[in-house]
Chain A
Amino acid sequence: MYYNTHFNPYFNNVIAHRLVNPDQIVNLEGFYVDIELDNGQKICNAKLDYVSPEPDETQAIYGDVTYTIFSAGQPYTYQTNTRKITRISQSGVPGAVCSDGMRSCKF
């Protein structure tokens, strides 16, 4: 298979609480992901737009994440931080955070 940095093999690992750091999810940038936040909210089939490349945990932008949810075909962009993410996985694969078939947000 042709290798490139924009190629993701079948990725169904769910990264669990306290294991989510920016380094682990930077390769998901641009891909569709399911996210569970620490308030229990599940965000399904969101496009992970941006993960802050800041390596220093003491910096304010460390772990900043931007994602987009599409509603009625329109993109709605949100920001969060990896510290608030308890689980994240690629969307639509077995074992994904929203593997019950839901494709939108759960509140």
Chain B
Amino acid sequence: MNNHNYTRQSTGKLMVFIFEGDKVKPIMGAKVTITGHNQNVTQQSNESGQTNTVDLPAGEPYFEYTVNVSASGYNDVKFEGVQVVPNITGIQEIQMTPSIRRDNFRSTEEHKVPPHKLTQPEAIKPDIDPIAIPDPQPQPLPLPQTRPEGPLILIPEYIIVHCGAPQEPAPKYKVKFTDYITKVACAETYPGWHREALIANILCITSYTLNKIFTQAYTGFDVTCLIQFDLKYNHVQTTYKQIIEIVDTIFNLYIKHPDPVKNQPLLAEYRAHYTRQKPCKLGQFKSQELAKQGYNHQDILNYFYDLCYGPLKIASAAGVIFQGRSSTPPETILKEGSSGSDVRKIQVMLNEISKNYSKIPKINADGKFGSITTKAVKTFQQIFNIHQDGNVDFRTWYKMSAIYYSILEYR
């Protein structure tokens, strides 16, 4: 009998989500092959475009796998460098392109997920003093169709990401605001970090991004995807459930500017290795250390920033924008037993979404939140990685609205 020296191998989980458009049309029956680290796993996507969650060997900080996808009517896709992190569920979103050729002659699109920022040397970035950034000045405008009611921070539906130096021509991506924050957070933090450290880092990312949008730092786009100028954005980044959950919960929060006269969010910068010093920036590895010592996200932010600005305040955006208009979420959490026009609105949205996501049951849009509506909400939450409680809170409402408006736009 052989004496094997068994060592316990860490594993991570991976789910592949395959769709057309901006998650508007899930692709069912796609063949997905995951290879690497002596693994060769084949899966098929379900009616929601998702594979089963697969256990894969993983090591610190992550193992890289190759994912190949083929689906009838679409170009084949090959993703290299898909990141699987120990004890974490990763989601690799793959957007497919309809093929104009017959299946036998389809071309293959190849993509590589770049290495995680924290495994790379620190980028050299110019120091910017957030205090010196002026608020943009008002300009004379004709009477608009809609007029804001004061200096408000609104969450845009999309942001435009310029993948090049600001002054140089480069491709641009139109990215949902929450997807942008999620992918930056997944590219610039480790998903296994303490929740409070992740929240502190994500608040910096959101605040930084909203500052760039509010101050109109660039013409023709909102941010660059280059770390030398802004935050690192990879369109093909592997995402992680822990980070998606936090971003979906706090994407409308930002750090207020310490100057009460200014309306812009704080340009909250961070570096991988940084200590409490001037100019103030958050130190990412130190933030994890502090969280493990019991600091909450507010304590962590103050640890780094109060040296320059005093205690920081977290504020909530005044609203969210869909199709260029400010949208108001329901005033209360909608749940079984609720009724009224807000319930009817979410029923209409769910019915529209269910035309593409057939797992979501059809509802009679009668404005009454009954058991079928609860089932539809839970199914929606399951597909989009939201805790399945069947209630429509701000987070579920926002995700539902985002998918609904994307579907309308895609038609």
Contact = CB atoms under 8 A, between A and B. Distances in A.
Interface string B138-170: 111110111110011110011010000000011
Given A68-B324, A90-B220, A74 B142 contact: no
B136 A92 contact: no
A77 B169 contact: no
B174 A73 contact: no
A78 B21 CA distance: 27
Contacts of B216: 45, 70, 73, 103
A1 B409 CA distance: 23
Given A2-B235, A71-B136, A73-B151, A8 B144 contact: no
Contacts of A3: 95, 97, 109
B142 A107 contact: yes
B411 A53 contact: yes
B304 to A, nearest CB: 26
B171 interface: yes
B111 A79 contact: no
A74 B317 CA distance: 13
A83 B235 CA distance: 35
A92 B220 contact: yes
Contacts of B146: 76-77
A13 to B, nearest CB: 13
B141 A50 contact: no
Given A72-B137, A73-B263, A74-B152, A8 B174 contact: yes
Interface in A1-51: 1-10, 12, 29-32, 45, 47, 49-50
Contacts of B274: none
A75 B235 CA distance: 27
A61 B375 CA distance: 36
B221 interface: yes
Tell me if A's interface is mostly helix, strand, loop or mixed.
loop
A76 B147 contact: yes
B315 to A, nearest CB: 14
- Report the interface size class on chain A: 35 or more
Interface string A77-96: 11100000000001111101
Nearest to A98: B219
Contacts of B221: 32, 92
- Report the interface size class on chain B: 35 or more
Given A2-B111, A29-B409, A66-B324, A76 B172 contact: no
B139 A104 contact: yes
A93 to B, nearest CB: 6
Given A30-B174, A49-B324, A70 B136 contact: yes
A71 B172 contact: no
Interface string A54-77: 000000000000111111111111
B215 interface: yes
Contacts of B324: 47, 49-50, 66-68, 75, 77
A105 B319 CA distance: 25
Contacts of A53: 411
Nearest to B154: A75
A91 B147 CA distance: 23
B290 interface: no
A52 to B, nearest CB: 11
B325 interface: yes
Contacts of A107: 140, 142
A7 B144 contact: no
B384 interface: no
Contact of B148 (A5, A47, A75, A105): A75
Interface of A: 1-10, 12, 29-32, 45, 47, 49-50, 53, 66-79, 90-94, 96, 103-105, 107
19 contacts: A2-B109, A2-B111, A3-B95, A4-B235, A5-B410, A6-B158, A6-B173, A31-B160, A31-B174, A32-B160, A32-B220, A66-B145, A74-B148, A74-B152, A75-B324, A77-B145, A78-B142, A92-B218, A93-B220
CB-CB nearest 9 A-B residue pairs: A92-B220, A49-B324, A91-B220, A6-B174, A76-B144, A72-B138, A92-B219, A73-B214, A30-B174
